[in-house]
Amino acid sequence: MSKLLIFDLDDTLFLCSGVIKEDYSNLEEIKLFSGVKEFLITNNTKKFLVTKGDKEIQEKKVNLLGIKDDFEKIFFPLTDAHKITCFKKIIKQYPNNESWVIGNKITSEIKFGNELGLKTVLLKKGKYKTLKAKDDSEVPDYEIEEFTELNEVLK
């Protein structure tokens, strides 16, 4: 079964925590994690980006990182409920694919992915990397320390 990948943005594709200032005045300084661009352009699975937050800011990050055209579609949900709806919409559109979600937060995309029956990969980066799972719904199928380990997980 071919795979379908749903990515989170902040602290999943680039380091956000401790880098971006509260007033967003230094957004231009953001850089993709090592291996991200190579992965996005060489991995020929369907890829989606779902990033919660202010659409204007999140869109600016995507443009600055130069990854806008590397996804089938990019979603900018404003709330967690809306984020779950985005996941549902994607998997419903591709029922014959095995859906995976890759993110840095166990209480968000990992939990939602688990609850929807997706394969979940936790990238331990950023301010949420030390969060402990409250129950099984927050335990990812895979944990990686570096983005580049994703290739091995997806084999």
Q: Where do contacts with Mg ion occur on this chain (CB under 5 A)? A: 8, 10-11, 104
Cα→Cα distances 24→14, 58, 89, Å:
15, 11, 30
Least Cβ distance, residue 11 to Mg ion (angstroms):
4
Cα→Cα distances 74→36, 49, 50, 91, 100, Å:
16, 5, 6, 14, 16
Angle 29-74-79 from CA coordinates, rounded to 5°:
90
Q: Between 10 and 70, name the residue whose CB sits nearer to Mg ion.
A: 10
Q: Between 15 and 116, name the residue whose CB sits nearer to Mg ion.
A: 15
Number of Cβ within a 10 Å radius of residue 102: 26
Is residue 85 within a helix (H) or strand (E), and if so which, with residue range? helix 80-93
Least Cβ distance, residue 152 to Mg ion (angstroms):
21
Residue number with the shortest CB distance to Mg ion?
A: 10
Q: Between 12 and 99, name the residue whose CB sits nearer to Mg ion.
A: 12
Query: Do the strands 98-103 and 119-123 form a parallel or antiparallel pair, or are they unpaired?
Result: parallel
Least Cβ distance, residue 89 to Mg ion (angstroms):
19
Least Cβ distance, residue 27 to Mg ion (angstroms):
16
Least Cβ distance, residue 113 to Mg ion (angstroms):
13
Q: Between 90 and 128, name the residue whose CB sits nearer to Mg ion.
A: 128
| Structure-block tokens of residue 136 | 């099984």
Q: Between 132 and 155, name the residue whose CB sits nearer to Mg ion.
A: 132
